[in-house]
Amino acid sequence: MSNEETVYIVDDEESLRQSLKYLLESVKLRVEAFDSAESLLKALSPSSNGCVVLDVRMPGMSGPELMDHLNDRGFVLPIIFLSAHGDVPLAVRAMRGGAVDFLQKPPNSQVFLECVRRALAQGRRAHQDQQDAEVINVRLATLTAREREVLDRLVAGDNNKAIARRLLVSYKTAEAHRARVMRKMQARSYPDLVQMMLAIRRGEGQQGAE
């Protein structure tokens, strides 16, 4: 399967599956349609990106069960749930699990397209956060244990004097450590360094939510 941004439709009702596929293709979105959760899982790869339009109740694995499975396996694929039942407890579970939206069948075309576009945008941001975090983690791996301590104190807001006092080193030593941290992290400024660490947290948050 291509790694191109794709809307994955999973619904055991063929007529709805095909109508949603045609609607999405009419606005030039790439679509793959599946009749079960199991068939989607066989087709996905770790680099798959886009979003999933997912029926709540299906034979075999249910929509919420598939969502949990995708999260456990680390997929970054925002989910839009579809239900013919308007089941409130299931909707609550879906939203708590990270679903973008919960729509009743058959969804209004315009509302559906807006939800899909929102889900795709969320997926792009999540993938970018992960990619940023991967780059920054490579840089973090080059720091010594002491440099990592200095980094942690910098992000906590300590200046060189406070770092020197906390780590029991001279001011010049703290200053030298800070310079090496900035260089190895390729940070242009202190705010840039803080943004890098926030990006790490966002990336970890995506993995934790998956």
Question: How confident is the model at residue 206, as a pLDDT?
Answer: 53
Among 3.40.50.720, 1.20.1370.20, 4.10.95.10, 1.10.10.10, name the CATH number for the domain at 142-209.
1.10.10.10
* Residue 119: DSSP 8-state: H
Q: d(Cα 123, Cα 77) in Å, to the nearest integer? A: 6
| Least confident piece of the model among 28-32, 60-64, 143-147 | 60-64
For residue 161, the surrounding DSSP H or E stretch is: helix 160-167
Largest CA distance in the chain: 73
Summarised one tens digit per residue, pLDDT across range 10-57 is 999 999 999 999 999 999 999 999 999 999 999 998 888 899 999 988
Q: d(Cα 48, Cα 34) in Å, to the nearest integer? A: 15
Q: How confident is the model at residue 209 (pLDDT cuts 50, 70, 90)?
A: very low
Domain spans, the chain = 6-124, 142-209
Establish whether domains 6-124 and 142-209 are of one fold. Answer: no
Q: What are phi and psi of 5, to 5 degrees?
A: -55, 125
- Residue 81: CB atoms within 10 A of its CB come to 25
How far does CA 34 lie from the centroid of its chain? 22
> Which residue's entry shows tokens 């999260």?
71
The more confident residue out of 203 and 80 is 80
Summarised one tens digit per residue, pLDDT across range 107-126 is 999 999 999 999 999 988 88
Question: How confident is the model at residue 134, as a pLDDT?
Answer: 85
Average pLDDT on 192-202 reads: 84
Please give the span between the terminal C-alpha atoms of the chain, in angstroms, as a whole number. 21
Fold of 6-124: Rossmann fold (3.40.50)
Structure tokens at 40: 């989607």
